[in-house]
Amino acid sequence: MLTKIRAWFSLIAAVWVLMREGVVTALPDEGAPPPVVTAKRIAKLIERRRPPGTTQSKKLGDALGRLGPSWVKLGQFLATRPDIVGKSIAHDLELLQDRMESFPTDQAKAAIRATLGKPVDVLFTSFGEPIAAASIAQVHKATVQGKDGNTRNVAVKVIRPGVRERFAWDLHTFYTAARFVDRWFPVARRLMLVQSVDMLAESARLEMELRLEAAAFSEMADNTKDDPGFRLPAIDWQRTGRDCVTMEWVDGIKMNNHAALVESGHDLNAVADNLIQSFLRHAIRDGFFHADMHPGNLFLDKDGIIVAVDLGIAGRLGKPERRFLAEILYGFIRKDYRRVAEVHFEAGYVPGDKDVESFAQALRAVGEPIYGATAEDIEMGGLLALLFDITEVFEMRTQPQLLLLQKTMVVVEGVARRLNPDFNMWQAAKPVVIPQATRLIGPIGRIDEGIEGVKAFGQLARQAPELAKRAERLSVAVDSMAVNGLHLDDDTIKRLAKAQRRERRWDRVALWVIAISAAIYTATIL
């Protein structure tokens, strides 16, 4: 109960900060429910004055920075959900990278000693001040002495003190907000807000266990070891633990330094092609992709090889999602809208009571403009965004893993187009998309599906005796209920009734607290 009270007050405080910093007034008007319109009107009264020309990105950064690391992490996560916050705010949220204040180096050293059991002076020959700070951790440059006696540079990522405890508390607030919206605004249920908070919680949990990030680097390095023009930094496992990860220092040019890239003399057109092809290989071939490929996380080394860092956010696609992605891209290329529609129904993304032909007609409205434009004007990420937009009409349930893919694709395309303004997305993607699509949905893919079916049947056969026993017990229980009815003991009935009354009471209290708080704040300002 105390946790729920604290979550509600934390949520009210957060709404106040967002109103004061001018974030609420920037919410889109189109399609906004009445409570949002009312909140915007109140926010206009209490928004603090800003110097002329203050950007929305600055307002967002200030607001989330005041609320703390967990909220910055939430903002970065919501950048992947333009369907929730709108495209403009999602774009602004993408700019939150590395905006947190750094914490003292002494605290970083203490965290390293606690997780590795040795002092920093023993583990490293030198250990510098932080060079970048984000919501979960910060990075230091250090040096180590190898077995050959040579000294080499390394990057050391250290967890932010207290961030796990703070995030665990703030998660209650996020869940409270998601459940409130889910309960009182049925139209928003298709956004799957509670499931999205689940994804945020899982993503943050993995990101806060730095050994798991190191494992992600290792897995992707194995996947890409034979790929041309792409690699990841090597992990120093002897200096990696729960609260810190040590990896090879990357000497290269950050891809947000366009002037230096031009001066380097590398063929940037080839680099752009290589970037998008690498991403598509990871997503379609491996089902495991770097989901934070903004220019600050990408380097170009002296040999023209792309090196990706900061794998705290990674996306995974199972075989069904990879097959779905391959089929819709291939279907749009062939203008087979009926097949693209069928794929959505087969995957269970669109309710079965909708009409396939009508959905195919809607998809044609997405696909046909592509063929009236030049290839340079077509963005694959934009195509997926339009596709997800139009599925709202058909009550398609939000697929967070596909939205993460689409968001990352948009970012990667943006980097490629800065490298090459005449970048042809479809020409660059074709050498990867067509072979991978053919493999997944062609004869080889069908054989793989058959093998998976045989394996599943074998597992079912092994479990058959136990399943038969369970079925027999269930049959006996159902027969008993048919004769005697379903009976609950008195204690269970009392606990269910008490829980229901408590849930309703706290929802009413929360609504009154929000209303009273808004009235008090408004009266104070006026």
Tens of pLDDT along the chain (526 residues) come to 677 777 788 888 888 888 888 777 776 666 566 777 777 788 888 888 877 777 776 777 788 878 888 888 777 777 766 656 666 676 667 666 556 788 999 999 999 999 999 999 999 999 999 998 888 899 999 999 988 888 999 999 999 999 898 888 888 888 888 888 888 777 667 667 787 788 778 778 878 899 999 999 999 999 999 999 999 999 999 999 999 999 999 999 999 898 999 999 999 999 999 999 999 999 999 999 998 888 889 999 999 999 999 888 888 888 888 888 888 777 776 778 888 888 888 877 777 788 889 888 888 877 776 655 544 555 555 666 666 666 666 776 666 667 678 778 878 888 888 899 888 777 788 888 788 877 777 665 555 555 555 555 566 566 667 766 776 676 666 666 566 665 555 666 666 666 666 555 555 555 444 444 444 444 444 4
Helix axes 210-223, 193-208, angle to 10 degrees: 90
Distance, in Å, from the CA atom of 462 to the CA atom of 163, rounded to the nearest integer, reads 45
Q: Which of 62, 92, 273, 292 is catalytic?
A: 292
Question: Are residues 78 and 84 in contact, defined by beta-carbon separation less than 8 angstroms?
Answer: yes
3-class DSSP assignment, residue 471 = helix
* CA angle centred on 209, ends 207 and 214, rounded to 5°: 85
Residue 58, amino acid = K
Does residue 377 carry a catalytic annotation? no
CA distances from 271 to 298, 378, 405 (A): 12, 19, 21
- Both structure tokens of 521: 């704040």
Distance, in Å, from the CA atom of 266 to the CA atom of 304, rounded to the nearest integer, reads 6
pLDDT of 525: 42
pTM across the whole model: 0.71
Question: Are residues 408 and 293 in contact, defined by beta-carbon separation less than 8 angstroms?
Answer: yes
Helix axes 56-67, 69-78, angle to 10 degrees: 140
CA torsion sign, 248 to 252 to 256 to 257? positive
pLDDT of 245: 96
Read out DSSP for 280-329? HIIIIIISEEES---GGGEEE-TTS-EEE---SSEEE--HHHHHHHHHHH
Distance, in Å, from the CA atom of 196 to the CA atom of 450, rounded to the nearest integer, reads 33
Domains of the chain, with CATH numbers? Answer: 2-97 (no CATH), 100-170+206-249 (3.30.200.20), 251-441 (no CATH)
